[in-house]
Chain A
Amino acid sequence: GENVEQHPSTLSVQEGDSAVIKCTYSDSASNYFPWYKQELGKRPQLIIDIRSNVGEKKDQRIAVTLNKTAKHFSLHITETQPEDSAVYFCAARPSNDYKLSFGAGTTVTVRA
């Protein structure tokens, strides 16, 4: 089955700086890659997703890149703000499977 690894496990950045989280996956059949943000005690919230026919996708201060050859994808947050502090999860899903596999999460802290 799919195995998703996520790095780093914790990330501290100064407000206004950029944050980058990287994930690798094992199943070459994976074609859908969502990212979720989970604030303490709240539900995981979908913030952006990318499909394998696209190499990059942007939404305001958030961007995701995908390298299918290397089987890795990354989340980039620019101009970080205190409200970006949360746990971020990457996930991957093969087109021939119903299972969405998550990484272990990255705790992002934005220092004011």
Chain B
Amino acid sequence: ETGVTQSPTHLIKTRGQQVTLRCSSQSGHNTVSWYQQALGQGPQFIFQYYREEENGRGNFPPRFSGLQFPNYSSELNVNALELDDSALYLCASSLAGWDQPQHFGDGTRLSIL
């Protein structure tokens, strides 16, 4: 069984730039959720994708967007990067359903200069 994989592991950008982060879900999982984890805090829900559509969103501005592909992999795109976007971005996959366990990848550490 293949676990959740994310790329890249680290990324350095400057303010105003755009970034794309990638996630491959665990085999058999059809739902992908993205989280932002600032240093010393719990993960904050960004959005969730199921059947290639966003079906839930947290308190993040529209410059955070995503995609899900037919193979259930997903991308997180962030435009007009701000210093506060510096964080660990985590992807979690699961089966569809409110009580299905979510399994996380190792994350992408994004630093904004």
> What residues make up the interface of A, taking CB atoms closer than 8 Å to B?
6, 31-32, 34, 36, 42-46, 49, 51, 89, 91, 93-105
Contact = CB atoms under 8 A, between A and B. Distances in A.
Name the prevailing secondary structure of the B interface residues: loop
B42 A102 contact: yes
A99 B107 contact: no
A6 B40 CA distance: 13
Given A98-B33, A100-B45, 4 more contacts: A34-B102, A44-B43, A99-B45, A104-B41
Nearest to A52: B99
B99 A43 contact: no
A42 B98 contact: no
Contacts of B102: 34, 46, 100
A46 B104 CA distance: 8
